[in-house]
């Protein structure tokens, strides 16, 4: 059974991602206490956690629901693609048991789940962590500093707008073939294939969200998990690194137009 703070985190995250709390909506600890019944200390913790995850944007001393723009999404997509490519090349050069771990994760964590199932998303996060060199690797920590957790959720949610699914599995299969053959150019192509192929659906999702046409919860099989970050750290963290991302958002959300 979920703890009160976990359940509240999931509820607020879902309301943000599915548009029940529109971008620009102000959110304070007092609001959270009034509407969810958690303690003030829990409410403050939730604000920080949702802010670190990219679901909220700090505006002065307050928080507002983040506004996801195409420009911001592109920055995150390109940054993540570049870092993942480095990790993929390093794994290919290492070979052996490390490539076997990639293959095992692909089968166990990714291929065995339907894309719309949250288990697929969780598996994809685990798979990405392996590609980046494992929990607490330099590349994983770098991703954590540049890419908020919200982007990974958006990438998964965008699949409903894709002309077809299976890009991750297809890219991973191509990657393993190339890596085992020592084909570094093929490794690069496999990595870029995934990020290039998923871009149109991601852009479509953002366009729909800008029109206030948000994904529907019924389109997914559960939105009830709190995934660890790619560095392996829990989502709730008091780390000073996590609280101070290297890059802030390109655009702050506009003035608060709504109340919680």
Query: What tens digit of pLDDT does each residue of 70-81 get?
Result: 999 999 999 999
Task: Identify the structural domains of the chain with CATH numbers, from first to last.
Answer: 4-68 (1.10.10.10), 70-219 (1.20.120)
Distances in Å between the alpha carbon of 236 and those of 44, 46, 254, 259?
Answer: 12, 8, 26, 25
How far, in Å, CA of 48 to CA of 44, rounded?
A: 6
- On whether the pTM is more than 0.95, the answer is no
3-class SS at 230?
Answer: coil
3-class SS at 257?
Answer: coil
pLDDT at 243 over 60: no
Query: What tens digit of pLDDT does each residue of 165-211 get?
Result: 899 999 999 999 999 999 999 999 999 999 999 999 999 999 999 98
Evaluate whether 191 touches 88 at the Cβ level (below 8 Å): yes
Eight-state DSSP code of residue 65: E
Closest residue by Cα to residue 137 from 175, 74, 91: 91
């Amino acid at each position: 059974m979920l703890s009160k703070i976990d359940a509240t985190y999931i509820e607020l995250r879902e309301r943000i991602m599915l548009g029940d709390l529109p971008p620009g909506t102000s959110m304070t600890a007092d609001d959270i206490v009034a509407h969810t019944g958690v303690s003030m200390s829990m409410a403050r913790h939730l604000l920080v956690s949702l802010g670190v995850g990219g679901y909220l944007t700090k505006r002065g001393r307050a928080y507002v629901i983040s506004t996801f723009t195409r420009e911001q999404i592109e920055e995150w997509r390109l940054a993540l693609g570049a870092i993942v490519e480095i990790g993929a090349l390093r794994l290919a050069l290492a070979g052996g048991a490390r490539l076997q771990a990639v293959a095992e994760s692909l089968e166990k964590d990714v291929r065995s789940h339907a894309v719309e199932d949250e288990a697929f998303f969780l598996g994809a996060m685990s798979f990405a962590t392996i590609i980046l060199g494992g929990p607490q690797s330099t590349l994983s920590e770098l991703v954590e500093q540049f890419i908020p957790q919200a982007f990974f959720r958006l990438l998964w949610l965008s699949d409903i707008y894709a002309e077809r699914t299976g890009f991750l599995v297809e890219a991973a299969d191509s990657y393993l073939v190339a890596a085992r053959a020592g084909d570094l150019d093929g490794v690069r192509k496999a990595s870029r294939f995934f990020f290039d192929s998923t871009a149109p659906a991601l852009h479509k999702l953002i366009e729909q969200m800008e029109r206030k046409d948000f994904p529907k919860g019924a389109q997914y099989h559960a939105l009830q998990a709190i995934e660890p970050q790619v560095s392996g750290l829990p989502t709730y963290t008091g780390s000073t690194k996590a609280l101070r991302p290297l890059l802030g958002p390109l655009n702050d959300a506009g003035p608060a137009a709504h109340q919680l």
